[in-house]
Structure 1
């Protein structure tokens, strides 16, 4: 049976200090409505587990012709601000997509879009570093729990084979009792 989830994996030699992915962004719309599909523009998204919500730069909002749907008070490294809120559809690699995402406008200094926990928490997010290679993988919806502590616990081996009794026939097929054959040293 094929999985209903969508996922992508990015690999890079060396340790990545920043996770960036290509993103398609357009004005929010319902693709099933039969209406005209807004143009999807390509941007770069920076993944940030420290951000509560997804943030779009003012330049991106202008390029897309987005109209604010409301205002919101946000808190950031320099304090707080009242900013525009927009509704977008977000397209990540390998057909991972989100509709009608509310994003706030922010100053992002060198990136177009900041992908926050509103997106990350909808699926499974993993980063591994092994053998000098960073692997970043994301899947929606979640299909299971990732628990490295549980995975590292030793597994108890349960022997389901019946123990051979001393008076049973020996397993080697000699016809002798186990105690007179391979069981002499037990």
Structure 2
């Protein structure tokens, strides 16, 4: 039983998160419910399939052990073994640590900007900033940023009539 829990903890937590999203989205208006239910049900299906795969694999390993056979020796997976987050020697350097800090900075910066500025400004702005950070030309950056803004605004606001909440700063300014 420990093997099941140890292998599937994150999968079960993700499944519970998507179930929560579906339950929470059920009480929303029809327009808002569309987005949350689509994401929630897709997540439930994908994570559910993964959970089933993990449980079958663990059951097969338990049957091997119960029959007196040892499970097959794992193949050499690399420096981190058979885990999703293997730390390589390059990542242990100061450059590797700075790269990891930068990526977490982008993530937390996007979350903060979503709260402060709202979805319609944050998504295109983050796309543009990320493109510039990685050396893309101004022309490509402006075209991609404008295209993302048009796609986001056109799809969610105009086509689906699903306006996202305005950012906190705009709410303070009375926007």
> TM-score, length-normalised on structure 2?
0.20
Q: Which has the higher strand share?
A: 1
Q: Which has the higher helix share?
A: 2
